[in-house]
């Protein structure tokens, strides 16, 4: 068991959408990936908030700065999900493959924005589907 009282540094900050259908699975998956300790932030639409909304982007960048300063994080997990209401949901796409490809582009775009400001953080892109969570 990790001695949480004396633990101050860890590897990962994750950002995911607020959508309650995916939170528990995402948290469980993150726990498996990280050994159970990580910083976690939600934004409406995850990548959408960071790309489209300057105040959300600035606020998220403040979170990154704080995570770096307090916890010395090394990796940022950007997490989008299927049927995201902020993007209009699955109905906006012809099929699931098109939807996944769209999110991969948004994740790439977001990674580019963040990497410019934080070149030393390793960025990992993640997509939460109905059945699987995977790096993309």
Indicate whether 111 belongs to the interface with Zn ion (CB under 5 A): no
Residue closer to Zn ion by CB (options 86, 133) is: 86
Exactly one of 17, 50, 128, 133 binds Zn ion (CB under 5 A); that residue is 17
Residue closer to Zn ion by CB (options 17, 73) is: 17
How far out from the chain centre does Cα 22 lie? 12
User: Least Å distance between CB 20 and Zn ion?
Assistant: 10
Calpha distance 2→66 (Å, rounded)? 22
Three-state DSSP class for residue 53: coil
| Beta-strand pair 133-135/122-128 | antiparallel
Which stretch in 19-27, 58-66, 104-112, 118-126 sits in contact with Zn ion by CB under 5 A?
A: 19-27
On the 0-12 / 13-18 / 19+ scale of CB atoms within 10 A, 118 is middle
Indicate whether 19 belongs to the interface with Zn ion (CB under 5 A): yes
Exactly one of 73, 84, 107, 133 binds Zn ion (CB under 5 A); that residue is 84
Indicate whether 12 belongs to the interface with Zn ion (CB under 5 A): no
Residue keyed to tokens 């950007």: 78
User: Least Å distance between CB 55 and Zn ion?
Assistant: 18
Residues binding Zn ion (CB under 5 A): 17, 19, 84, 86
């Amino acid at each position: 068991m990790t001695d949480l009282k004396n633990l101050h540094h860890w590897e990962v900050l994750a950002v995911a959408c607020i959508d309650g259908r995916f939170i528990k699975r995402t948290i469980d998956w993150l726990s498996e990936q990280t050994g159970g300790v990580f910083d976690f932030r939600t934004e409406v639409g995850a990548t959408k908030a960071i790309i489209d909304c300057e105040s959300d982007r600035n606020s998220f960048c403040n979170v990154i700065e704080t995570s770096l300063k307090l916890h010395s994080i090394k990796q940022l997990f950007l997490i989008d999900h299927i049927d995201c209401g902020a993007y209009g949901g699955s109905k906006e796409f012809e099929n699931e493959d098109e939807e996944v490809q769209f999110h991969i582009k948004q994740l790439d775009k977001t990674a580019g924005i963040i990497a410019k400001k934080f070149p030393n953080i390793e960025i990992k892109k993640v997509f939460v589907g109905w059945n699987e969570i995977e790096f993309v």
